């Protein structure tokens, strides 16, 4: 019953046997490594139940694709496990369309899925490919490497605040950033061979920076005034804008380590894609994240990892 919404011919290569058998048969590019990740988006936890169905479909795939972007992987195939409280065609059709439109743009094929009854949630598994040894990882940063971020920060939290205060137009840049995030796939691939480490900003800049630091055995010094704030964020959140950029989450930008000598090449490569890359600090041998102080700008007050 649900399958008709999602059954489409594979657009890309490597699908030897598509939907309709017990398993899908896939043929990865010989010699490449598979990058595999899964994310579950639960209504009222990760997205508003009343969000447009097309945006829910887009977003569920986007958050999984963002993990491929952070590895520098090229998307190939995905699987969806959908739990529905109400299998209404008027909801499913735009949901499938939102999912499929991003599939087409990302060059990924949906090759299988499963539908059950229950509270609305969407779980998406993505498979990407990367040449051996070229994947971007969290553990490769070195002391002295620059810390840089794509795009802007705080849009996810700003968009959630906009939704909560009644904004419903996806023309609002913050709401669009929250409900229709764009995974930085091309940027991630362009940073292969340039970035020393990478992660996507899903949990918030500070939390994800801490993941990079932990994996690389380093600390970091942040320059708060350098943070690229999302368009409209200060207008929406006032003094809370900085906190949103630091710990709001759901931004799906790439946070990367860059050897100083690679900065110019990285900015040129991403500039050609229309993606800004902003230096926001540097990795240090001293553990912890410096530059973020209790009661600092924005009234941001609780950060246990800071070592001023």
Instruction: Answer whether 102's CB lies under 8 Å from 96's CB.
Output: no
200 binds Mg ion, rule: CB under 5 A: yes
Q: For residues 256 and 94, give the distance between their C-alpha atoms in angstroms, rounded to a whole number.
A: 35
113 labelled binding-site residue? yes
Instruction: Classify burial at 106, counting beta carbons within 10 Å of its beta carbon; exposed 0-12, middle 13-18, buried 19 or more.
Output: buried
| Four-CA torsion 304, 68, 171, 150, nearest 10 degrees | 60
Cβ nearer to Mg ion, comparing 67 with 182: 67
Among 57, 65, 67, 100, binds Mg ion (CB under 5 A): 67
- DSSP letters for 50-93: TS-HHHHHHHHHHHHHHHHHHHTPEEEEEEEEEEES---HHHHH
The answer to the question of whether 121 is labelled as a binding residue is no
Tell me how many residues contact Mg ion (CB under 5 A): 2
Instruction: Establish if 100 lies at the interface with Mg ion (CB under 5 A).
Output: no
Q: Do the beta carbons of residue 57 and residue 124 sit within 8 Å?
A: no
Minimum gap (Å) between residue 202 Cβ and Mg ion: 5
Please say which residue, 69 or 275, places its beta carbon nearer to Mg ion.
69
66 labelled binding-site residue: no
Whether 138 has a binding-site annotation, put simply, is yes
Phi, psi torsion values for 152, nearest 5 degrees: -135, 165
In angstroms, give the least distance from the CB of 200 to Mg ion. Answer: 4
d(CA 252, CA 254): 7
Nearer to Mg ion, 100 or 253 (CB): 253
Residue 5 or residue 59: which is nearer to Mg ion going by CB? 59
Question: Could you tell me which stretch among 151-159, 171-179, 193-201, 284-292 binds Mg ion (CB under 5 A)?
Answer: 193-201
67 is in an annotated binding site: yes
Nearer to Mg ion, 64 or 267 (CB): 64
N residues, the chain = 308
- Contact criterion met (CB below 8 Å) for 175 and 169: yes
The footprint of Mg ion (CB under 5 A) covers 67, 200
Annotated binding-site ranges: 22, 37, 39, 46, 67, 113-114, 138, 200, 202-203, 250, 300
Annotated binding-site ranges for Mg(2+): 22, 37, 39, 67, 114, 200, 203
Annotated binding-site ranges for substrate: 46, 250, 300
Annotated binding-site ranges for ATP: 113-114, 138, 202
């Amino acid at each position: 019953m649900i399958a008709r919404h999602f059954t489409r011919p594979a657009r890309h290569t490597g699908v030897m046997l598509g939907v309709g058998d017990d398993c899908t048969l896939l043929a990865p590019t010989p010699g490449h490594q598979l990058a595999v990740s899964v994310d579950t988006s639960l209504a009222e936890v990760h997205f508003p139940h009343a969000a447009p169905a097309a945006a829910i479909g887009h977003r569920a795939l986007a958050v999984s694709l963002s993990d491929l972007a952070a590895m520098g992987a090229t998307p190939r195939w995905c699987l969806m496990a959908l739990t529905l409280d109400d299998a209404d065609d008027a909801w499913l059709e735009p949901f499938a369309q939102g999912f499929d439109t991003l599939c087409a743009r990302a060059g990924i094929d949906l090759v299988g899925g499963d539908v059950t009854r229950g509270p609305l949630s969407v779980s998406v598994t993505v498979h990407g490919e990367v040449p051996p040894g070229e994947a971007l990882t969290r553990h490769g940063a070195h002391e002295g490497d620059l810390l840089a971020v794509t795009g802007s920060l705080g849009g996810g939290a700003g968009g959630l605040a906009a939704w909560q205060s009644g904004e419903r137009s996806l023309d609002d840049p913050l709401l669009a950033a929250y409900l229709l995030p764009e995974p930085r796939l091309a940027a991630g691939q362009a940073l292969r061979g340039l970035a020393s480490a990478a992660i996507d900003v899903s949990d918030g800049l500070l939390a994800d920076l801490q993941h990079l630091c932990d994996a690389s055995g380093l600390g970091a010094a942040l320059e708060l005034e350098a943070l690229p704030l999302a368009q409209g964020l200060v207008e929406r959140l006032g003094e809370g804008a900085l906190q949103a950029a630091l710990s709001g989450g759901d931004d799906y930008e790439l946070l990367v380590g860059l050897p100083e000598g690679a900065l110019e090449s990285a900015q040129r490569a991403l500039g050609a894609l229309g993606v800004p890359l902003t230096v926001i600090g540097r990795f240090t041998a001293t553990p912890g994240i410096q530059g973020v102080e209790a009661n600092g700008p924005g009234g941001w007050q609780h950060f246990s990892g800071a070592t001023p």
